[in-house]
Amino acid sequence: MKKIILLATLCLTQLTHAVIFEVTDICEDIPILKEDIQVFQSTTVGHLTKYTFDSYSIPYIGSEMEMHSILNTPFGRDAIQFLAPNTVRVYGWCFEINGMVSSLPTYQSLVSPHSKSHIRWFFGYAERQADRWGEYCKPAYEMKDGFMCLQKK
């Protein structure tokens, strides 16, 4: 009987993977939180994020659908930087899965227990110049003199 339980445990362990879940500092490319989270069934990034933040008492404003603020960062009008009359930079939280920024929202981005995944949240921005949006989810920590980092100091 003990052999069967041990064999079942070993098989179950082989079928699930821990997801590396990370949140980076807004001004530096260093993790504030980095944990291995066991995933036993397919779930969304939104559900896993909410579960992890609740489990580790990480302050956030958002839901499984979207994250507005993590660790008390500004959002909405407080996260807009006016650079020139026709240029604005809008900040917010972005996530990537295995190094790629997802084109899907958190509630549609799936994490499987059958593959290794690394979910990484970082504070990013999009820039709008003359009624055109440029790149989105550019990491804010790449700008050492960034608007949010100046406010943080």
Residue with tokens 């993977």, as numbered in its chain: 17
Structure token pair of residue 46:
């939104």
pTM: 0.84
Residue with tokens 């821990």, as numbered in its chain: 18
pLDDT tens, position by position, 104-122: 999 999 999 888 899 999 9
Residue with tokens 């008492």, as numbered in its chain: 57
pLDDT tens, position by position, 74-105: 999 999 999 888 999 999 999 999 999 988 99
